[in-house]
Chain A
Amino acid sequence: MALRRGRKLNSKPAEAVEAAVTAAFREEGGRVVATLIRLTGDWDLAEECVQEALARALERWPRDGVPRRPAAWLTTTARNHALTRLKRSTTEAAKLREVAALAPTEEPEADPSGVQDDRLRLMFTCCHPALPLDGRVALTLRTLAGLTTAEIARAFLVSEPTMSQRLVRTKRKIREAGIPYRVPPAHLLPERTAAVLGVLYLLFNEGYAATAGDEPARHDLCTEAIRLTRTLLTLMPDEPEIEGLLALLLLQHSRRGARLDADGELVTLADQDRSRWDAAAIGEGLALVDTALHRGSPGPYQLQAAIAACHAAAPAASDTDWPQIAALYGELAKRVPSPVVQLNRAVAVAMADGPAAGLAHVDTMAGDLDGYHLLPATRADLLRRLGRHEEAADAYRAALALAGNEADRRFLRRRLSEISSETP
């Protein structure tokens, strides 16, 4: 995602400078914004001042050279801009004294740990459970990932004014409901960390579920989710569930090159060309699962990552350790009482003990998942493998009536045509 702010310069060195600004912002933007929010207590002012600092960088860096610590330069410039802005407003005199007093000790080079806390503060505040879920996701992307409102709007397939309103409403609730800008105290930390992980996972899935190649902005959501989870892990090392989530995202993302065929059709896990899986991502993911599970407190993300690891570690689909996957789903179902988990467990049981055993599992679940196309789709697949083609066709039709995603629908139509005379 290119940086689309600041001014466009055309000469070669200017392009290099622009690249340096872009890189500094990609790496450090979240940190700069987070510090400015803490210093000014004003989210909008913080964002404006960071924008202003970026514009200054594009103006000054070609002349003066790229500073040794670009992020520190951006923070200082943004803070000075905030001071100027606050000086103009007499009603903010108290705030001004506060910012001016804080300024000297809060240089990034002076106190790197304090600066890291700012990003953590920002993450916890953006993902506060009192905020609407869509607002948490949008605000995380805006402030921490530095995406523009237009980019976020495109990624979530809504208009820019709609997304802009969503961001305004979310920031207003933070201000008016008194949501604190802080890392929660120890007794709230497990619950609130889970809320942050939930937002990051949702962010990833938003990008992952958008399979077709017509909306590249959505694919970048996966990359952003991984980047933010990585940041969170750096800030809170030794947290097994964060390791678990990062592993899960890396392992799922490792299959991106094999999930679609040349025509953009979905390829099932069993049929994917495993040589196209991202070996580096798998290596990192497997190592993280290992580290996390050795800490001895398995949670939902670690278990899901362990399941993904079983798939990633199998050289061919036929090598998959299905009894192990079924057992992991069993553990997951104890912690996450979700019908979707039960459905996946049924699929794993079918692979381990045969389609009849899986079907018995699925048939106990009717009613829990009304309206969810994967329930009839799974029944259809199991019935097909049992040779009960007529019932399978009925189930495929039921799934088709519910599936919303065009790639899913094409896949179901293809399966249906394989077992009946219906043309796709």
Chain B
Amino acid sequence: MRYLMLICGTSHDESKPLPSEPMDTATEAWVKEMDGRGVRLMGQRLRPASMATTVRVNDDEVLLTDGPFAETKEQILGFDLLECANLDEALEVAAKHPSARHGAIEVRPLWPFAGEES
């Protein structure tokens, strides 16, 4: 089954320069382990929520809002797409991610395409 891991947490303080290193060593080790196990299909860190633009269409009129879909203290910082045997495995993989210690990780099953029952 496929699961999306949404890495949630408080955004980087924008008054400070972004760290040049995109991932800390702990995260790198996690990526290496999960790639090796074949459970991580892809994943990436996202630019801060202030870089987001939200799009809505109202009666054919495109409405753009500066910022993320929901203005909350915790934002989506990155994501990983997993292929796991079941939820327990996905939860175990998520619990090993370093961000689970500071923020939170939402694990969501992907809605399969029609006819593609897992």
Contact = CB atoms under 8 A, between A and B. Distances in A.
A178 B91 contact: no
Please name the 8 residue pairs, one residue from A and one from B, whose CB atoms are nearest each other, closest first.
A180-B86, A178-B1, A178-B87, A178-B86, A179-B87, A177-B109, A177-B87, A180-B88
B15 interface: no
Interface string B87-99: 1101100000000
B85 interface: yes
Given A178-B1, A178-B118, A179-B87, 7 more contacts: A177-B87, A178-B109, A179-B88, A180-B85, A180-B87, A180-B88, A188-B88
B42 to A, nearest CB: 19
Interface string B70-97: 0000000000000011111011000000
Interface string B41-85: 000000000000000000000000000000000000000000011
A178 B118 CA distance: 9
State the majority secondary structure of interface residues on B. mixed
Interface in A100-138: 128, 130
Interface residues of B, number: 11
Nearest to B92: A188
Interface in A168-200: 176-180, 184, 188
Contacts of B90: 178
Interface of B: 1, 3, 84-88, 90-91, 109, 118
Interface residues of A, number: 9
23 contacts: A128-B87, A130-B87, A130-B91, A176-B109, A177-B87, A177-B109, A178-B1, A178-B3, A178-B84, A178-B86, A178-B87, A178-B90, A178-B109, A178-B118, A179-B86, A179-B87, A179-B88, A180-B85, A180-B86, A180-B87, A180-B88, A184-B88, A188-B88
A184 B87 CA distance: 12
Nearest to B112: A176
A130 B3 CA distance: 14
Contacts of B91: 130
A21 B1 CA distance: 40
Nearest to A91: B117
Nearest to B86: A180
Contacts of B118: 178
A69 to B, nearest CB: 33
**In the complex, which of the residues B3, B85, B90, B91 has the most CB atoms of chain A within 10 Å of its own CB atom?**
B91
Contacts of A176: 109
Contacts of A128: 87
